Structure 1
Amino acid sequence: MNSLQVAIIDYGMGNLRSVANAFRAVAPDVRIEVTSDPAHIAAAERVVFPGQGAMPDCIRELDARGLRQAVTDATREKPFLGICIGLQMLFEHSEEGDTPGLGIYPGEVKRFPAEKMFDEHGAKLKVPHMGWSQVQQAAPHALWHDIPDQERFYYVHSYYVEPDDAALTAATTAYPFDYTCAIARDNVFAVQFHPEKSAAAGLQLLRNFVNWKP
């Protein structure tokens, strides 16, 4: 595995250190690089786009650093893992700051609607959605290998994706309604939760990504 390289995109945002450390924990023999160099991203065998923060800042920083094309190319050419904002920016538009996304997939990024944020007992739910929630796998996938259905993953977000194409959905989470928390198509897998903060299940997903051959 010495030749296998994972490029973690550095665009000035995101929890880069914890993502890199999690990958190094599950794949100590793999070359892991945190990089903002489009040439390194193009040369990598696998690409990870981690995210934390706001969509307008994400897109602005991506463009300011000349990374838009490198990210778009990676979604078309090699195993690609998007995390949090790294999922949301794949879609056409976000309500957060009325921001156009990369438009890889048709769909909208929406804020949790205040009028629906109540649990089954009528108690108000907090936004952002922060903490552990169960993930309902929509279909078998290599990245779910050895991860039980309904496993819990860690979330921190106020917006969620609503794909136009329901077939994109790889998993859903209820908060309080069911929404898409993971998508999968060809060489792309992207999740709303943070696998690097999700204990054993999250590490297993990262391990699966390193070994994935789409």
Structure 2
Amino acid sequence: MKISLVSPGAQVVYEEFMQAINQSSSQGRTSASNISKAFAKALNTTTVADSISSATSYKDIFIEASRKYGVSYDLLTAMAQQESGFDSDAVSRSGAMGIMQIMPETAKELGLEHPFDAYENIMAGAKYISQKLQEFSGNVDKALAAYNAGSSVVKQYGGVPPYGETQSYVKNIKAIMKRGADVPYTNYISRNATRNQLEEDLKKLLRELPDTEEYAVLKQTLAEINYL
């Protein structure tokens, strides 16, 4: 399960937290492996986001993008699965970046300043495909082909160009749309979150963990290191 730690501060808090836990477990009282898994699951189960209250997971971000740009949730998530497999750090051989695989020049046109920020990248991708849908009168095949190969090529051929990559791209996305994309529940942490905000969020999150056996070791260790 992936923990999406967008800001450097988030990474510092997580690493220091795990270091404290590992030091405690090294004294033979707990299992660091079990704690780490429980902590990862906790981060992916509860909101740890700053300022963006309506977008706390990838699913929520796609819903917000869908509503903002009038593009179907199914189309956006299918594109993300085809483009990057929902990997916010993905970079293609041609230089396309992030979840929606946006090229550097396109990023500039869209005003995308932080292409590896999941929220910003998804919003930019949604904006871009909405422009293509508008340009081609709502024709999904043409819009997707333009997103992949460029509008001029689609206009030149009057539809999806005879390029194997582009034809497979359109076909695959439509197939994913039909069955539904496998959107991971990856927690989004704002790039602008401060260390103090993250620490407070994490403490609140951990205090609210369910009283189940799955989290017992984690809670015990947190008490031992006086984190809760």
Answer yes or no: same fold by TM over 0.5: no
| TM-score normalised to structure 1 length | 0.28
- The answer to which structure has the higher helix fraction is 2
User: TM-score, normalization: structure 2?
Assistant: 0.26
Structure whose CA Rg is larger: 2
The structure with the largest strand share of the pair is 1
